[in-house]
Amino acid sequence: MTQVETTADGPSDLEGPWDVVVVGHGAAGLTAALSFLEESPLARVAVLDRADRQHRGGSTAWTTSAFRLDGDAQLDPGWAEIVRATSGHHVNDEYIEAFYENATETLNWIRAHGVEIGKHQVPFQLAFGRQVWFPVGGGKAIVEALGAAIEGRGASVFYSTTALRLVTGASSRVEGVVVRSGDGTEHTMRARSVVLASGGFEANPEMLSRYIPNAHRLKTVSPGTDVNTGAGIRMAMEIGADTAGQFDGAHLEPVDPRSSNREGQVGSWLFGILVNQRGERFMDEAERPHDIHFDQVGNRIFRNQNGRAYAIVDAGIRAGVPRFEALNDQENPPLRADTVEGLAELLGVPGDALRRTIEEYNEACQDGEFDPARLDGKATAGISPRKSNWAQPLAKPPYEGVPVEANICFTYGGLRVDGTSRVLNTDGRPISGLWAAGEITGIFHELYPAGTSVLRSLTFGRIAGREVAAELAEAGAPAGGSAAVEAPSGSAAHSMV
């Protein structure tokens, strides 16, 4: 039997049998494994990570992991309004209600497992206040704390292991997963249940090209995101799983392409202007609060402006916005010039066009108090596109510009689940033995209200683990007595597309 690197004292026999196999080792996978083990401490649990141990944790390990909480540390009430408004008749009310019922409890739970939650204020207005809650140490702290917790409870974590296809039995129940280990050999992991927590398809050029034209050109926001190839989505669809979310939509972040940090975000456009490669404005830079709008900025740059734009401010904006430096990635300084034409030359845009754009914008700015701490309503008048807030003339040199491109964070399309994280088939019925949590599940349309990706992964991963434990406890049989069997030739083991 091939032995695969595992970090636990539990079984290292890859094929099992297992009580549950969790495909994915980020926020959703870790919480699923841990909540299951809390309910079933003697169970046999396997967790799969496509990466090696050094690069474990998927996207979670690389994110700052902001949480969309109000001043009382409760899930923002406005999140549901946004999701319902953008989802139309596709809205999943059961999922939304479960999120609100379990989010705060889940955060208290990860605190109890050693994840410290902090809070700080941002220099601009968010839709839910100006506070941002986050795990101290970012998503990596979640991976380290919860990873230690599952290892301490005997889970086996298999690195450099790729899930290929699900195995189903005669009753169509999911009974395991076929995987490829780091040495290239394939194995059938027999399991009483499977939890899919392997992210979206943002690192799969073929799937991106199918659903989002030219998206295969997008860089991912982190090395951890590079393992998200949509395999879990494909595997589940092959056995009849339904889908949800907008498959031609994705969360794109406006970033500085000069930065070695793939998530080197740029936000100074909020108080200045955005221009394209022709030196022209192309959208309302402050139509909505940053947490809702920055996703739209990334998408507009990618979809409508040939992938490149420039954020421009002047010395007055820099001086007038508290903690201005926090708006942009700090690895590379902005390009600066004492004249608009000089800045245009540095940016590589037509000088005459940029001068006209700024002159027209300055003339359209109206009198009123400039207040970066709130949506101040200080708008332009008489130009299109208008700017709805923070419209301040750009007239104090030096002028500053930062190049902006879009990187892909995650895709919106995924599996349809109910409020207990069960994967549903195309008839709306649960697929026996199969759960899913995190970005692999679809919920978003049109835009992403920031601060809920990791939070919903944690919340529904925990729900999934708890639900699996309850079902298996009712069934009663231990892993050693599992009905799961290695799929023979011609069985319902399905190959990955």
> What does the pLDDT look like over 247-269, one tens digit per residue?
999 999 999 999 988 889 999 99
Q: For residue 296, name the pLDDT band (cuts at 50, 70, 90).
A: very high
Q: Mean per-residue pLDDT for 286-291?
A: 94
Angle at 448 between CA 222 and CA 442, to 5 degrees: 85
Q: Tell me: pLDDT of 479 over 80.
A: no
Question: Which architecture, in CATH terms, is 252-407?
Answer: Alpha-Beta Complex (3.90)
Q: Tell me: pLDDT of 297 over 50.
A: yes
Please report the pLDDT score of residue 475 as a whole number.
Answer: 87
Please report the pLDDT score of residue 477 as a whole number.
Answer: 58
pTM reported for the whole predicted model:
0.92
Identity at 332, one-letter amino acid code: N
Q: For residue 382, name the pLDDT band (cuts at 50, 70, 90).
A: very high
Q: Tell me: pLDDT of 125 over 70.
A: yes
Q: Considering Cα of 75, then 58, then 92, then 46, what sign does the dihedral take?
A: negative
Q: Tell me: pLDDT of 8 over 70.
A: no
How far apart are the C-alpha atoms of 184 and 175, rounded to whole Å?
Answer: 22
Q: Tell me: pLDDT of 493 over 90.
A: no
Q: Please state, in angstroms and as integers, the Cα–Cα distance from residue 178 to each residue in 15, 233, 281, 422, 486, following that order.
A: 9, 15, 51, 20, 9
Please report the pLDDT score of residue 482 as a whole number.
Answer: 40
Q: Which of the two residues, 109 and 6, has the higher pLDDT score?
A: 109
Please report the pLDDT score of residue 478 as a whole number.
Answer: 59
For a pLDDT cut of 90, what percent of the chain falls above it? Answer: 87
Average per-residue pLDDT for the chain = 92
Pairing of strands 414-415, 243-244: antiparallel
Please report the pLDDT score of residue 7 as a whole number.
Answer: 52
Q: Tell me: pLDDT of 282 over 90.
A: yes
How far apart are the C-alpha atoms of 475 and 477, rounded to whole Å?
Answer: 6
Please report the pLDDT score of residue 10 as a whole number.
Answer: 36
Q: For residue 491, name the pLDDT band (cuts at 50, 70, 90).
A: very low
Same fold across 18-249+412-493 and 252-407: no
Q: Which of the two residues, 8 and 459, has the higher pLDDT score?
A: 459
Instruction: Report the top-level CATH class of 18-249+412-493.
Output: alpha beta
Q: Mean per-residue pLDDT for 316-324?
A: 95
Q: For residue 123, name the pLDDT band (cuts at 50, 70, 90).
A: confident
Domain boundaries in the chain?
A: 18-249+412-493, 252-407
How far apart are the C-alpha atoms of 92 and 103, rounded to whole Å?
Answer: 17
User: Which of 138-152, 397-411, 465-479 has the weakest average pLDDT?
Assistant: 465-479
Q: For residue 484, name the pLDDT band (cuts at 50, 70, 90).
A: very low
User: Which of 203-207, 407-411, 484-488 has the weakest average pLDDT?
Assistant: 484-488
pLDDT digits (tens, 9 = 90+) for 174-209: 999 999 999 999 999 999 999 999 999 999 999 999
Residues 76, 103: contact at Cβ < 8 Å? Answer: no
Please report the pLDDT score of residue 480 as a whole number.
Answer: 43
Please report the pLDDT score of residue 490 as a whole number.
Answer: 30
| 373's tokens | 């701490």
